[in-house]
């Protein structure tokens, strides 16, 4: 249920931003190994790509501090 809730939120966000970009990066906080996260989330991003017509890329980081640094960098350069 929690995963479905996250998927619905993400899908709604992507649809609301749809007119602004053709490619989106779907960043997942690395609370598990990158390999396990890729196995779990790659099908989700593929599904979202198919349903939205936009390219949705999965990404994570080796640890939470690295993820936070990347997120901070993107949030300061993003027009959104």
The answer, yes or no, to whether residue 33 has pLDDT greater than 60, is yes
Distances (CA, A) of 44 to 10, 22, 35, 69, 75: 10, 17, 15, 24, 23
Beta bridge partners of 57: 25
CA distance 44 to 34: 15
What is the pLDDT averaged over residues 22-40?
91
User: How much is the pTM?
Assistant: 0.63
- For the chain, the average pLDDT equals 79
What is the pLDDT averaged over residues 12-17?
51
Percent of the chain residues topping a pLDDT of 90: 50
What is the pLDDT averaged over residues 33-57?
93
């Amino acid at each position: 249920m929690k995963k479905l809730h996250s998927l619905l939120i993400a899908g709604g966000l992507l649809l609301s931003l749809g007119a602004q970009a053709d490619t989106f990066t779907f960043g997942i906080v690395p609370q598990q190994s990158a390999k396990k996260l890729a196995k779990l989330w790659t099908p989700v991003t593929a599904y979202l790509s198919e349903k939205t017509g936009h390219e949705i890329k999965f990404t994570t980081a080796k640890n939470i501090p690295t993820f936070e640094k990347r997120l901070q960098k993107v949030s300061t350069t993003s027009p959104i």
